[in-house]
Structure 1
């Protein structure tokens, strides 16, 4: 490009350089300083220098600048990926405390653990909650949330729960669309955690208003509810409700839904 350039060639190269500065300047205006380039160009014109040589050197400089910029961006992206992977690893470590239930190849690991968490809650906490409140006026505060958790967590005759069956259908209907699959998965997480939050807040409210006798004993049928009996058998209502509340809160936090549920504190 050191040979004499025609006016059209000079104009074309100038336009290309200016466009490069403009586009990359949106990402990093300090590095891609178009004003500095224009000053250098004006200088070479005033000095009646070799325009071809000047433009050739500017093109090389610009390519080097772009290469360096891309290298920096790649390093930043790699650091972000490492941070994200670390956060995800820490999240999965928390979820490993729960049972994992595989129900569909497209289901994320998080959702398999959530299904396990809700299934355990339905087997361990729900029977106690129902025992304490069933048949009382207070049960109306909990009924909808209990029903929702049953729909997500209760497994009958070896079949997935009703909500998980609905999710599997949504995954099949999505026909490989990852966005639709993610949306359906997140909706299930939100529904389950909202039900847990409603149980948590209802218990807090009913206990604070003395709507329950804290000293009554939870006489759980061991044969019908072995998991509930192992955890809550022959414990006082107050102890049971405190533990159920904490379990609700823990699941919401472990599945990173506490901010959405306004339960950060």
Structure 2
């Protein structure tokens, strides 16, 4: 705001100009903090100066200086809050990423976000470790019909053949390329994959829990997985009974859903 000398006598035009500028500042900043930028208090002070025939030049100079200090303090506080908000967001992102690094990271395409690469790795690991156990317990039984659809989703996403990415990841790669760099489309593709994969894990969990509650599974039978064909499954679940193995499988499902922040979306809080 323009400065002026104490001895300067203000014209009606100058008075009107300073009033407009001061009022505009109060109105603009008052939208964000009406208590600090109290225009009514300024109007009261102005009317009092007029009533007492005070020195308008001095009054406006002091009001301008006061308003400039107020704006400076306000802008400083806003900057600090924004910095704190950014710090909080960065910390949340870091904490979220810490939960993902325990999974393999599969770099299937440069356009894929890091979260998506970790999710692909998590499902591949699930397909190698937990899926053989599910198939060993349920394949060939009437109960498998409860699990067939979500198992198919996991197979299409987590099982690769001939060194190629899985069928679902090949579809996702095409969708990422078709997005032509549009970040909104890329985000929608990413979230859809996370949602569909985690929904399959949720459905596996619910189906297993329902079958257990209805006594459709003998919890004392032993898991039989081949060490040569499924070394990860054998290492984790070999010599485990059905009951304990299924507890571990469903816990892994829930852990993946939680780590990739899909629990709220899927109603699993």
Same fold flag (TM > 0.5): yes
Give how far 1:11 is off. Answer: 2.2
Q: What does residue range 182-221 of structure 1 map to in structure 2 within 5 Å? A: 182-221=187-226
Partner of 1:81: 86
User: Does residue 157 of the first structure (1) align with residue 157 of the second (2)?
Assistant: no
User: Does residue 241 of the first structure (1) align with residue 246 of the second (2)?
Assistant: yes
Give how far 1:141 is off. Answer: 1.4
Q: Is the 8 A contact 1:220 1:234 kept in 2?
A: no
Partner of 1:99: 104
Choose from 14, 19, 24 the match for 1:9. Answer: 14
Q: What are the superposed Cα offsets for residues 99-141 of structure 1, whole Å, 9 maximum, x if unpaired?
A: 1111222322222211111110011111211221122222121
Aligned partners of 2:194 and 2:118: how far apart in 1?
Answer: 11
TM-score (norm 1): 0.92
TM-score (norm 2): 0.91
Choose from 4, 20, 23 the match for 2:25. Answer: 20
Q: What residue ranges of structure 1 are gaps of 5+ in the alignment?
A: none
Give how far 1:241 is off. Answer: 0.9
Aligned partners of 1:169 and 1:21: how far apart in 2?
Answer: 54
Partner of 1:65: 70
Aligned partners of 1:159 and 1:4: how far apart in 2?
Answer: 83
Q: What does residue range 119-130 of structure 1 map to in structure 2 within 5 Å? A: 119-130=124-135
- Give the direction of change, closer, same or farther, for the CA distance of 1:30–1:128 in structure 2 (3 Å limit): same
Q: Is the 8 A contact 1:218 1:232 kept in 2?
A: yes
Q: What are the superposed Cα offsets for residues 67-96 of structure 1, whole Å, 9 maximum, x if unpaired?
A: 111111111122222222222222222222
Q: How many residues align?
A: 264
Partner of 1:181: 186
- Give the direction of change, closer, same or farther, for the CA distance of 1:244–1:73 in structure 2 (3 Å limit): same
Q: What are the superposed Cα offsets for residues 151-181 of structure 1, whole Å, 9 maximum, x if unpaired?
A: 2222222222222222222222222222222
Single out whichever of 136-145 and 228-237 deviates more from structure 2: 228-237
- Give the direction of change, closer, same or farther, for the CA distance of 1:138–1:66 in structure 2 (3 Å limit): same
Partner of 2:136: 131
